[in-house]
Amino acid sequence: MMRSPLYELQKQLGAKFTEFSGFEMPLYYSSIIEEHFAVRKKLGLFDVSHMGNVLVGGENPEELLSLVSVADVSKLHPGKSVYTTFLREDGTIIDDLIIYMISTNNFVFIPNAGQNKIVVPWLCEHAKKRGLGVEIKDVTLEWMILAVQGPSANEAMQKITDYTLDRIKPFECSNITVANAPVLCSRTGYTGEDGFELQFPTRKNGKVFSSIFETGKEYNVLPCGLGARDSLRLEKGFALASNEFAGGRTPLEAGLSWTINWDHEFIGKGAVLKQKEEGNYERTVYLKCKERCVPRRRCEVIDNKKNIGKVSSGGLSPCLKKGIAVAHVKHESREIGKIVSILIHKKEYEAEMIRPPFIKKGEC
């Protein structure tokens, strides 16, 4: 099993570890709930080095990246990033990811844990097939990724960099120096709070995590694990690859149609367009339960005593103290405001179909 370069430090900080896509990563340190609230109210620090880093450069890398992604990457400007998906020819999602344009002919993207092994050969194949002079380099094992998330992230991070962080707007990125180490800093994340993600080669930058942790103490920073990462993203309705589209859903079925730019050509476009026109594909719905309960993956969704679908991600919202779930249902069953129920341990719990997120900014 692979480990983050910070494994020993995390162990010292009391991390309880879990296996995730071949990596042994912290599940939590003190308590998932406490870590969740730290991020919502103040500051949390995540190590997400299990995720991939892939550099794309050479000649016209944007041409290849546009071809393989539902976003039109050729429209990106240096210092900008975009959340997108890569599709197979049949329109199903291979992976969801953020592509960052660092400078002209210089991109990096972050595939999900383990997906770099699938995505990189697949990209190389398409580059070769089309005779593109693109250089693709998988630096997953040489790079680290930290996420500094929460309302105090900007203020805390500003103390350890000379760069004016206000200049980095949401979904923008810049090469800056943090704690004397050069990092690619972006205002992105997976928690729905303000914050940054830092990507950098591990080799010379062993102190970035410790510096943020020490500086963050003034803001009651907590080191956070994958448990809080999951509950935080769920409250915002963000998709988790292994739950929401593992096994082959299209962006339409996975609730990610908003990521598609239809005005450019991309692999899988024909299949997704056909599905869109036919219209009878499964819908992603967001279910907010009326009471405290814990819907889990694979729980049945019931409408009028009939099974209409299944939960793909669910849990107790620490902020709402009610059950929340993402589910996939028959197309005709989706209706905002409709009351259905979720079957948990043979008992039905009422839930309303809402538009995500479950928690708005500052609501917790």
SS3 304: coil
Phi-psi region of 220 (alpha: psi -120 to 50; beta: other; left: phi over 0): left
Judged by beta carbon, residue 109 or residue 190, the one nearer other proteins is: 190
Residue count, binding to other proteins (CB under 8 A): 17
The identity of residue 217, as a single letter, is K
Judged by beta carbon, residue 16 or residue 126, the one nearer other proteins is: 16
For the CB of residue 194, give the shortest distance to other proteins in the complex, in Å: 24
Is the dihedral angle over the CA atoms 255, 258, 259, 260 positive or is it negative?
positive
For the CB of residue 230, give the shortest distance to other proteins in the complex, in Å: 8
DSSP letter for 68, please: H
Residue 28 near other proteins by CB under 8 A: yes
In whole angstroms, give the CA distance from residue 87 to residue 135: 21
Judged by beta carbon, residue 35 or residue 244, the one nearer other proteins is: 35
Q: How are beta strands 93-103 and 80-87 bridged, if at all?
A: antiparallel
Exactly one of 52, 195, 315, 356 binds other proteins (CB under 8 A); that residue is 315
x/- letters, 87..106, toward other proteins (CB under 8 A):
--------------------
Burial class (CB within 10 angstroms; exposed 0-12, middle 13-18, buried 19+) of 305: exposed
CB atoms within 10 A of CB 35: 26
Six-digit token pair at 149?
Answer: 């998330």
In whole angstroms, give the CA distance from residue 148 to residue 216: 10
Residue 32 near other proteins by CB under 8 A: yes
Judged by beta carbon, residue 169 or residue 345, the one nearer other proteins is: 345
CA 52 to chain centre: 12
Residue 307 near other proteins by CB under 8 A: no
Residue 41 near other proteins by CB under 8 A: no
Phi-psi region of 116 (alpha: psi -120 to 50; beta: other; left: phi over 0): alpha
270-299 binders of other proteins (CB under 8 A):
292-294, 296
Judged by beta carbon, residue 28 or residue 209, the one nearer other proteins is: 28
For the CB of residue 182, give the shortest distance to other proteins in the complex, in Å: 36
The identity of residue 345, as a single letter, is H
DSSP letter for 210, please: H
Judged by beta carbon, residue 33 or residue 55, the one nearer other proteins is: 33
Residue 220 near other proteins by CB under 8 A: no
x/- letters, 224..243, toward other proteins (CB under 8 A):
---x---x------------
Is the dihedral angle over the CA atoms 138, 100, 224, 183 positive or is it negative?
positive
For the CB of residue 222, give the shortest distance to other proteins in the complex, in Å: 14
For the CB of residue 227, give the shortest distance to other proteins in the complex, in Å: 6
Q: Which residues bind other proteins (CB under 8 A)?
A: 16, 27-28, 31-33, 227, 231, 292-294, 296, 315-316, 318, 345, 347
